[in-house]
Structure 1
Amino acid sequence: MARIAFIGLGIMGSPMAVHFHNAGHQVVGYNRTPAKTKALVEAGGTAAASVSEAVADADVVALMVTDTPDVVEVLTGAGGVFETAKPGTLIIDFSTIRPDVTADLAAQARSRGLRMVDAPVSGGEVGAQNATLSIMVGGTEEDFAAARPFLEVVGKTIVHVGPSGSGQTVKAANQLIVAGHLAVLAEAIVFLEAYGVDVSAALDVLGGGLARSAIMEHKAELMRRRSFTPGFRLDLHHKDLGIVTTAAREAGVVIPVAAAAAQLIAAARANGDGDLDHSALFRTIARLSGRD
């Protein structure tokens, strides 16, 4: 069993850290908001007062933090992972950040005798709680092989997709697809309601045909009931679409549907919905028809 430092114990990170503890690993967690270490401590894990304290003597360092600057700070800042981790430590970054920054950080890690894989996840809070996440992994074959036993503790679908940064690229594509699905699902529900259709029955039959998707399965009922308790915050999806649009521009790829979805999500944030679940994009779509 390994000693794991888990940095970032929010909606996703907290249940993932608990899964590692329950699998028999020694887990030391750190979060900028100390209260968020509660679930791990109650499960039998340990809370650290700093990144350096958590990382000291760790075999594996797992990150699940919000954005690119957060990962950079945790890894390269004073008292951070690069400064503190012992040679050979395996870094698994579950965060969703820019692919180019990930590739650079992985190169820095190698120069310091550390190993690093980018392993962003899909599946949301439910997937984290149930250990059924889909994990797209970038890094060397050797580092992926070393990381896989740990990834299997929290994930169900685990795929090595290429060198460092590739996991983040695939995650960006995932967030593009999810945003598009959320937008068209919201439009469909507004359309059905406008005609007085039994929306629940309509969604049942649509879910049995080609329109079926995981987004419909998990988000349609939330939209129908206007229940937007955050599982994945709209603010975070806004951040992710910024990654998508920037990376697409750098690659010379035109993504008009993603651009439209990004603008709709930006409008939802501007209307104060950023802390709601990303299914709350429905509210913006409905407002466009005066039906919120």
Structure 2
Amino acid sequence: MVALLTAVCLFSAVARALALPSPHIPMAGSLPVLRLPRASDCHPSHTEFTSSLSDLYTVIEGDHATGQKGLQLFLDRPHGEVKMDKETATNDVVGTGATVNSTYAMGHGKVTFEVAAPTVSGVVTAVILVGTQTPGEIDVELLGGDPAHWQTNVFAPTPKDPRPLFGVFSSVEDVPGPEGIAAFHKYTIDWDAERIVWGVDGQDVRTLDRSKARSDGFEHYPTGELRVQLGIWDASSPAGTSEWARGPVEWNSAPKRISAFVRSVTVEC
């Protein structure tokens, strides 16, 4: 991921992830660190989206459907003309993608997302854990322009950060099988007070210890309650985001409606 984004981009991204009108920045890094056991407010569940969202999930933005392949998240082409700036590799407008949040939150736990993503450059499918009151995130991101890989990331900024933290704690991992992200795979985030483990199809591929989640003298480890968020979005702007996502989306040739599928979400405690 590209870290050369402005502070305005940082705050707007946080606000979108939180589904709040403005970001609420925590004071982590300047306060004593509390070492907590695995939280007891994690409630096990297994949701298959073949007929409905159930009362565990709610739509925040965009359109969706449910069916045999699970929850279908739509990304719709922008209305009107889309102007591409070839010099900056960006579009002047972006499409509207679906965002679905869980109605529950968790202190720690293990979440498995069964996902198939579109392979359209500039489109990002994200299944993440995101803060309910603070901008902490633990991410799984599937880039349509890089179908053979998936990305992991932690994003937990503090108000004293001297620079944006996009990509500082990210990694790129291989997707099993020849179809890559277009096929259904099970991506896992296992989060507790001391480490985060990401896996795919039952195999752990990356561990981030809390002691390693430090940058510029501050700890950047999610410590507040997180909820599940499922989404698809057009990463065609700004320039740094578009470059990271292999964008912009070529809306003149891409389908007017692009879909990602989430077959199931499983929460273990």
Normalization by structure 2: what TM-score? 0.28
Which is bigger in relative contact order (C-alpha 8 A, separation at least 6)? 2
Between Structure 1 and Structure 2, the one with more helix by share is 1
Normalization by structure 1: what TM-score? 0.26
Between Structure 1 and Structure 2, the one with more strand by share is 2
State the structure with more CA Rg: 1
